[in-house]
Amino acid sequence: MNNDKLIIGGHEFNSRFILGSGKYSMKLIEAAVKDAGAEIITLAVRRANTKDQENILDYIPEGVTLLPNTSGARNAQEAVRIARLARELGCGNFVKIEIMRDSKYLLPDNQETIKATEILANEGFVVMPYMYPDLNVARDLVNAGAASVMPLASPIGSNKGLATKEFIQILIDEIDVPIIVDAGIGRPSQACEAMEMGVSAIMANTALATAGDLPLMASAFKNAIEAGRKAYLAGLGRVLTRGASASDPLTGFLRD
């Protein structure tokens, strides 16, 4: 287990839990990162507010890798613009591409995401595209230079769990870069199940931000993700198609 690293774009991580930082107080970030054991945290880029004296970067512990997203982008061009601004903010070259055309379901635009991935990968970014789980698109993203692919489990912020399970399994089976489930994971058990299937990591935000006790839920997710990873590495026991199989010896019964 000690050698079991998550490798994204040549960077090694021990944690397989990517933490979002949206929709909760900056003051909780340090506890969330610590209790999640997270080594990567996502951020958004927005117009700077002259009234706010506080900056989220002041609350993120040292050594945590920042993963800016391109939220707000409606096409590849806008995503590229936001990614470049994020890099100019001086916190590394990771970017999570997020391109949405509709504000009702917030589904990713896979075609524009492929275009943005190609441009940004060529500019030296470590590109982690959020995507609707489609094998052909995932292959195109890898060919375009994606360092991982981030399929949604269910709509963003819904906490509905692994609605796209079968299609994520196909990505696990066929795609060689890390598959990181992003969006929709609402419970630790769902994160655990995805990890058991063989995804490389879990990204969660709303599940924590809407929990009763955020740091405690971060800790619960950490344990669930680790349990799922161990189960995957161990290899799950088989499932019988029918009938039963005794766990006890079928000899030496106390009868004649």
> Residues interacting with other proteins, by CB under 8 A?
20-24, 26, 29, 42-51, 53, 55-57, 66, 68-69, 71, 81, 84-86, 88-91, 156-157, 183, 203, 205-206
Q: How far is the CB of 28 from other proteins (least distance, A)?
A: 10
Rounded Cα–Cα distance for residues 185 and 155 (Å) = 9
Q: How far is the CB of 55 from other proteins (least distance, A)?
A: 5
- Amino acid (one-letter) located at 44: A
Q: What angle do CA 84, 90, 91 make, to 5 degrees?
A: 100
DSSP string, 117-169: HHHHHHTT-EEEEEE---HHHHHHHHHHT-S-BEE-SSSTT-----TTHHHHH
Classify the C-alpha dihedral 124-126-132-137 as positive or negative: positive
Residue number, 91 or 163, with CB nearest to other proteins: 91
Helices 135-144 & 110-122, crossing angle to 10 degrees? 20
Q: With CA atoms as reference, report the closest residue to 202 among 229, 175, 232.
A: 229
Residue number, 168 or 204, with CB nearest to other proteins: 204
Residue number, 67 or 168, with CB nearest to other proteins: 67
Rounded Cα–Cα distance for residues 232 and 214 (Å) = 27
Residue number, 142 or 204, with CB nearest to other proteins: 204
Residue number, 56 or 170, with CB nearest to other proteins: 56
Q: How far is the CB of 238 from other proteins (least distance, A)?
A: 37
Q: Catalytic residue, from 27, 34, 96, 165: name it.
A: 96
3-state secondary structure of 170: helix
Rounded Cα–Cα distance for residues 145 and 148 (Å) = 9
Q: How far is the CB of 166 from other proteins (least distance, A)?
A: 24
Residue 34: active-site member: no
Q: How far is the CB of 220 from other proteins (least distance, A)?
A: 18
The catalytic site residues sit at 96
